[in-house]
Structures are given as structure tokens and as C-alpha cells.
Amino acid sequence: MSVLETSSSWRTTSLWRSEPHGLCYIETAELDGETNMKVRQAIPVTAELGDTSKLARFDGEVICEPPNNKLDKFGGTLYWKENKYPLSNQNMLLRGCVLRNTEWCFGLVIFAGPDTKLMQNSGRTKFKRTSIDRLMNTLVLWIFGFLVCMGVILAIGNAIWEHEVGICFQIYLPWDEGVHSAFFSGFLSFWSYIIILNTVVPISLYVSVEVIRLGHSYFINWDKKMYCAKRQTPAEARTTTLNEELGQVEYIFSDKTGTLTQNIMVFSKCSVNGHSYGDVQDMLGHKAELGERPEPVNFSFNPLADPRFQFWDPSLLEAVKLGDLHVHEFFRLLSLCHTVMSEEKSEGELLYKAQSPDEGALVTAARNFGFVFRSRTPKTITVHELGQAITYQLLAILDFNNIRKRMSVIVRSPEGKIRLYCKGADTILLERLHPVNQDLTSITTDHLNEYAGEGLRTLVLAYKDLEESYYKDWSERLHRAGSAPEAREDHLARLYDEVEHDMMLLGATAIEDKLQQGVPETIAILTLANIKIWVLTGDKQETAVNIGYSCKMLTDDMTEVFVVTGHTVLEVREELRKAREKMMDASRSVCNGFSYQEKLSTKLTSVLEAIAGEYALVINGHSLAHALEADMEVEFLETACACKAVICCRVTPLQKAQVVELVKKYKKAVTLAIGDGANDVSMIKTAHIGVGISGQEGIQAVLASDYSFSQFKFLQRLLLVHGRWSYLRMCKFLCYFFYKNFAFTMVHFWFGFFCGFSAQTVYDQYFITLYNIVYTSLPVLAMGVFDQDVPEQRSMEYPKLYEPGQLNLLFNKREFFICIAQGIYTSVLMFFIPYGVFADATRDDGAQLADYQSFAVTVATSLVIVVSVQIGLDTGFWTAINHFFIWGSLAAYFAILFTMHSDGLFRVFPNQFRFVGNAQNTLAQPTVWLTIALTTVVCIMPVVAFRFLKLDLKPELSDTVRYTQLVRKKQKTQHRCMRRAGHVGSRRSGYAFSHQEGFGELIMSGKNMRLSSLALSSFAPRPSTSWIETLRKKKGCEGSSAGSPSGAASKTLKV
């Protein structure tokens, strides 16, 4: 019988199955991300229930552990017919598993609904909003408060004016009906001004923001460089609300299997009896250089060989054919010591289903070299050894776990010989060998170090012959331990440990785990962008660490890699404490006598400010469970954030989400989670941004994600290009939007002091209606959709350009107040310059120029021109659409203005358009155009002057990149001219000076003393380029963001 959680709402124990021996094949991709089939088996006593009538009479009782989220453990006991039978995870079918190659299965429900392990590991679905969304909501509330304040000021002014001045004009300016006091007039004036000044509240802002986000999403969907031709899968933005937050990511949490790797393992090298095989050799027997690889080994002698398998060293096959006993035993071990399932679709066509790709690669290698695993039952394993079918009796499987780090099988050969075969981690197996293996161990260790240096995943193989009498005694004790009601696992572990001693060394294997294309480069680039990458995987520690080295997260140059494997709270706390102490000691040695405690503050980022050197942290799932407890989570996070790389192994889906939530809680940083399996769904939902990889493990992660694509390397482009551009565009859009609204609305406020606070508007009603809809809507949308500071190639080349988004430099409360101040400044000039000019100005015919309509036309025209010039200055990347919208909006303004003051419209709507010819007459006066020009210059020149000074004295990184690009273009033009000129003349003149033209001018201008060269050899470093690092350090001290330490006062841009 076995226990299972079915894909409905239950967790059941399997009683009876369609397959022989009570076997059941399942796929657990929705739980742990692994697509390989696993085997579960019914308890023998219930597997004998041959029909439904017997099953109906089953009346057993199960007593088991309470509901929990541990996917790999289950403990319980079945009481039936006055006997008790132990239940383990091997008898369990969890909810989320998929039955494979099994027609039916009867089971007993153990847990249902929210008690199932899948639901225990699931996280809540949260509505995701960006930090800019939250800031916008706050700013809108502030603006509304500002609107109320302006209304109160003007209402008070109206009450005072009516009481002091307006009372004198009651004869011909009487109060409206129902108004009997100055106070009530002021009260009505308050609501009138709330209506007039409401345009300061950006009601249309949210609509415009969504339009821009939609455009950014389409750019992601249409990006051909994020399209995978192999799988015909484009990138997809599954939400439109998070685009700009892609430009602010500080932490990436990544799954390993299928996300960083292709989940493809290749048998690459091996060591057998002290001889290393697998090096590619040339015709002379020497090691071939890269690119000189000969033809692969020919396995045509073996009709059962896998045609996809390739090996490049023919000497190993020759050793098999020559009958080398050690080589034969080596491959015999690989064909027997595993849990792989074999499926033979047709004669000779074998399909292996392995729990891990490692096992599949090893069994496939044995298959091709003549030791073919054909089939298995619960008690036998059939292998074809060099064409001869041999069936071994399977006596016991000592399964792998994270503590043992090894797996063994005990088999009886047809000759009756009992032998234990074992494979496992070198750190575990080498200390369990018989002393007679000392010389062979030394040679094999050298081979292992060589393989590990190449980033290969290694295993050590060993065997041991067992006496019949010893095995019988050991087997009886094993059975008693398996039936123990308490401490069952401890009893089994001691028996396993007893038999796995004094083994004989056979050799070692080296497997290449295929990374996805571009993973190391992507991780390196993202690290330079100051993005921290944590790997959260359900895989075992050795696998995760090897992948860490393969993708360059872990390097040999690191100061130390801390491994936390404690099983109790005290052990984990002690290991974390020792790790911090080592980092603190290293910091003290570089602090010139200042103790770490002097630098340490109560802020969580204090460790980051003081740590010197590069460290990595590797922590197991059982240790992580203790580290995530409330009294230790801060210690764990502080230690992890001080490390350059963090790898969490054997973690459950819930633990992945808890790690992400921990960083969100304390670091206040934007997090991104990326994965490809159903076990990553909780993590994806918890992070600010979830990315799904459409890979080999279904589309569960994709369906739960915000963005999806098919390869990890596309994450670099998603963040550094689309994310950075989206953040830049959104920030520039918001700054300009607030500026233009305040410049437009505040003119009414100043006019109130000159119209008796009567709530009279400066502009006519149609201009007020069309200002945000026609005159200024399209240009700002074009900028928000298409603008860019540097081309996409430069965004990828210079990852430091990404840091302003992490520091939230481009739009924050400070930038908001600057935009508001500029808008208010513009409104002051927009009103008072025409007001001052019109006070004494006359027309060409000597008549007084000042009248309400002429003043309104002048101010409105000045406003449209000023905001159009301003958006032209703000636009960094001009397209035909930008030109069309900006100049088209100006043209539309004048066309509508002249139309509304035309004779034809007056004849059609005489009551609506009464000021015939006003615009034509006003704009025909040179004084008016001079006033407009003066207003435009005075409004724009301070902005231009400030930006030129900032560009010259303190340029941003993007300014430096653009400047370098211009210099490059200039040099290319000069080189082309020089080459054309160089075809004529004497060849005797060999000018041997390596400098290039143009550098004398550059040095004399002094620009190379201010602009960073971006690590280009053409320019000198700029001491002031570390301003972002300084700001990051300052921000880190405030606890608002995690920043990388920078002790240098001068730093060039990293590429």
C-alpha cells in the first residue's frame, strides 16, 4: 500500500495499482520541477488486494505525522489485521503528481484540501504595483492638498476684496442672488476656484501612463532579439503594469534546473583504476587543442547503443573490447547502481526515465559501452553485458539523500555472489575505502581535481563483496529498523553506514551539465549592473555548487565559500555567526586600525559597508528552515547580503517564496524571481516581478509570471534595455507632465489677484478643454513611448547605466518638487511678462493693446510654445513620430485658434464664438510676438544654462556614453578621410607614431579631464565618476537600498 495526494484535492496512500509488483510511475514537475519519472510502490500486503471486493473490505487505520510542507519526507504507520506496516515517502502520491504508464491506482486519502503538501507550499496571489505607482498616488494626494490650499487662499482673498472693495460697487456689480455676505461669497469662490484649478490634479495621468506601458509591452513582445527560433517562442509581457520596475531590479532569485541549465547531462570523462579517459587526442596520441576534435567513437558494434551519445576517446572502448576487468566492473556498476526506469517501445528501442539527468547520463554511457540496462522489477535488474542478458537479484537499495550524499545497491549475481555497488560524492566515499586503496585513491583524487577544475560534476565509484552470513544478519536488522515506530531513519542510517565501509575503489565519473547558452555572460553583465543573483534550487548541494562554478557565480578567486549545513537552530546560528566573524576579521585588517564595531550601525546594510573581499554562501534546505525563523532571519539576511553569491539548495517551493519575502521585507529593494517549473510559482508570485521560462517543465511558471521567454540570457536584454528604457521614459514623462500642468494652471492663480478673486479664467474655455487633450498630449506620449538616452548596444555594453534606476534617481520626491518649482516659475513669467508689457503697449494704429482676449491669446500662445520647446529639450531620441507630434501640435494650436476666431464659425455659432478676428488682430502685432519671444527665452534659458553646466561639470553616465559615441563617429570619419588620402604619396614615409588625430584638441579643451572614458583606452579616467557609488553608500546607510561597497575615491565606469 502507498499513500498519495492526488491531483484533485487529496493526498492518498496507494493500496493497489495496475502495474505488476504494485509499482506506480509518476511525474513531479509541479512539485519539484523535475520531469523525469519516479517510482512509487504499494505496500506488499495491500498490493495483494486483487479485486475491488477485497478492497471494499479493507478496514486499516493510518496514524501519521500532521500536515506539513516537506515534500521529501513522510512518516506513518498502517494498522491492519493486528499488524503494523511502516509508511514512507516511497508509498506516497502527492497532490500535483501526474501518473505515467499506469492505467489506474486505488488509494487511501490521508490529507485533503489545504492540508496537502502542495497547498502547504503555495503562496498567496498578490496584486503587484510598482514603486512609481505608489509614489504617484502619494503625489496626487499632495497635489490635491495643494489645490485645496490655493482654493482657500483665493477664497479668503475674495472675501476680503468683497468686504473692502466690492461693497463700493454694489450699484452696478451686485452680488448674485442668494449671496448676502462677503464670507458666503468667499465660500462660493472657493468651490469656483477648485473647479478652475482642478487641472493641476493630473486626472489624465493614469490613462497616459497605461498607454505608455502598453507601448512598452508591445516593444518587448516584438523584440526579435528575444525570440527563440529553436522553440519558436517570442518574449511576452503578460502584464502592462510593471515595465518601469524592470529598470529598478536589485535582487534576482533564480531556479537552477531548466532555468540556468538545459537540464541536459553529458558523460564527458572518467577515471578507471588510475587511468583517465575522455581527453580528445589527435592522430599522434597527444591531447588535441580546441577546434581539433576528431570523429567521435564508433559504437556500431552495439545494436542497443543510443545514437545521440558521443564520446571522443576510443581507448575506453578498446579497454572494454580487450576485456579489462576493472573497466567492465566500472560499467557494470553504472548499469546496476541507479533508480532509472526503462521503457522499451519496440525491440531494441530503449527509453530511460531517470530521477535525475546525472543518472540518465551514467546509465546511457554504460549502455553505449556494452552494459545495457534493459529492465527491472522490485526484486531484479536485467542487464545485457556485451550482448549477453544477465539478471541480477536486487537485494537492497540504499537510496541517496542529502546527508548520505551517496547511493548503493546490493545485488546477487547469477553465480550467487553478493556485492554492494556504491556511487557518491568524493568527500564521502574516499574516507570509506579500504586502506589498501591508498595509492589508487591518490591518483584518482588528482583526476577528480582536474575534472572539477574544468567545471565537471564528479562521482566516485566503489564496490564491496559481502559474505552470505553477514548479509543475512544485516538484512534482518534492516527489516527490524524499517518497522521501528520511532527514529526509523536514524536506525536505517546507522545500518547503511555500517555496510558502506572498507569498499574497493573502482574509479570516478565526470559529467558535463549543459548550461543554457549565454548564462555565464548574462550573470557577469548583471553583476556589473549591481544586481545580486541568488540561486534557489531543489537540487542537491553538490549539483548546485557545480552549476555555480559553471556559470561563474562562484569562482576560485573568492575569499571563501561558506557552507551552512546545520540540522538544529543552534548549529545554524553558530555557522552563520562564524561566517560573519570571518568577514568581520577580514574587514578589520583593511580598516587601518578602526574596529568593525566602530563602523557597525543598527542598519542592516552595515555589514555591506564594511566587508572586504568576495564571499559566497551555500545553505541547505533544512538549515534554511531554521535560518528563516523570526529570531534568526535578520542574521541570515545580513550574512547573505554581505556575500557576492548565494545558493540555497534542497529548498521547497514555500522556502523559495519565504526567501524572496525576507529580502522584500528588510531590504526595500525591487526583486525579480525567474523559474520554469510549477515549484517556482510561489516564488514568482511573491517577487515584485515574476519571469517564467517556457522550457521543458510545462507552462505553470509562465502562466503565473509577469513576463516570459524561453532562455535565461534574454533576462539581460529585458532588464538592461527594455527595463532601463521603460524606467527612463516613465520618469521623463512624469516630470514633464507635472511641469506642464502646473505651468498651465498656476496662471489662473496669479490672475486671481488682479481680477478681484472673481474666479475669472485667463484662457478661453476651449483652450482649457483642448490643452491636455490636443495641444500637449501627443508629444509627451511620443516621448514616453519612444525616448532613449543611449542606443541598445550601449545599454548592454555599459551595465553601470542601470544603477540610477536602482537608486531611484530619475523620479522621486525631490525631482517632483523640482518639476513643480519649474512649472510655477514658468507660470509666473507666463503671466507677469505679458501683463507688464500690455500695461503700456499700443497697437500699430495707436490704440491700446491691453484687452482681456488679446491678453488671453498672448498667454496661451506663449504657453504652448514654451512647453513645446521644453519637450523638445527633454527628448533625447528623435523619431519622425516625435517631430510630427510636436510640430503638429503647434500647427494644430494655431489652426484651431484662427478657426475659433473666424467669421465662418461665428456665423454658425454666434453665441459661442463672439470674438471674431481677435486672434488674427492680436498676432498681427509685432509687440505680441516680441512678448511671446521674450517669455519663451526667459522661461527656457535657465533650463538650457543649467543643463549645459551640469553636462560640463558633473555629467551623468549616459552623457559620458553619448559623448564617447560622438568622438568615435568623428574619429571614424577622420580615419576614412586619412585612408583615402593615404593612397597617394611615397611609401618610404613610415609614420611610426601610434597616436591618432584629434587628441590634441581633446586635451586642450579639458573635456577629457571631466568625462569618463568608460574603460576605453582612448580617454583618461575621471575622478568624479564615483558619484553613483557615493550616493549608493549614502542611501545604504539610510537603510533604503542595498548597495555594493566602494572604498575608492576615484572609479571609472565598469564594462
Residues carrying an active site annotation: 255
Largest distance between two CA atoms of the chain: 128
The DSSP string of 768-812 is HHHIIIIISHHHHHHHHHH--SS-HHHHHH-GGGGHHHHTT-SSS
Please state whether beta strands 532-536 and 645-649 pair in parallel, antiparallel, or not at all (unpaired).
parallel
From residue 864, alpha-carbon distances to 255, 551, 847, 859 in Å are: 52, 54, 27, 9
Cα–Cα distance, 250 to 252 (Å, whole number): 7
- For every residue of 111-141, which 3-state class applies, written as one string? EEHHHCHHHHCCCCCCCCCCHHHHHHHHHHH
Cα–Cα distance, 660 to 669 (Å, whole number): 11
Contact between 709 and 228 under an 8 Å Cβ cutoff? The reply is yes
Contact between 250 and 1041 under an 8 Å Cβ cutoff? The reply is yes
Cα–Cα distance, 39 to 24 (Å, whole number): 6
From residue 815, alpha-carbon distances to 142, 199, 413, 588 in Å are: 14, 20, 79, 39
Backbone φ, ψ for residue 418 (5° rounding): -100, 130
Contact between 943 and 870 under an 8 Å Cβ cutoff? The reply is yes
Backbone φ, ψ for residue 376 (5° rounding): -150, 155
- For every residue of 155-201, which 3-state class applies, written as one string? HHHHHHHHHHCHHHHCCCCCCCCCCCCHHHHHHHHHHHHHHHHHHHC
Region of 40 on the Ramachandran plot (φ > 0 left; ψ -120 to 50 alpha; else beta) = beta
Q: Is 22 exposed, middle or buried (0-12, 13-18, 19+ CB in 10 A)?
A: buried
Contact between 405 and 424 under an 8 Å Cβ cutoff? The reply is yes
Cα radius of gyration rounded to whole Å, the chain: 38
Q: Is 622 exposed, middle or buried (0-12, 13-18, 19+ CB in 10 A)?
A: buried
Backbone φ, ψ for residue 827 (5° rounding): -65, -35
Cell numbers given for 866: 514654451
With CA atoms as reference, report the closest residue to 801 among 660, 1039, 964.
Answer: 964
Contact between 468 and 412 under an 8 Å Cβ cutoff? The reply is no
Q: Is 743 exposed, middle or buried (0-12, 13-18, 19+ CB in 10 A)?
A: buried
From residue 979, alpha-carbon distances to 971, 972, 975, 985 in Å are: 12, 10, 6, 12
Residue 168: CB atoms within 10 A of its CB come to 8
Buried/exposed code over 52-61 (b: 16+ C-beta within 10 A; e: otherwise): eeeeeeeebe
Angle of the 852-874 helix axis to the 926-953 helix axis, nearest 10? 30
Positive or negative CA dihedral for 933, 936, 939, 943? Answer: negative
Cell numbers given for 200: 493641476
Cα–Cα distance, 944 to 933 (Å, whole number): 16
Cell numbers given for 1014: 568608460
Continuous segment of H or E residues that includes residue 463 = strand 457-466
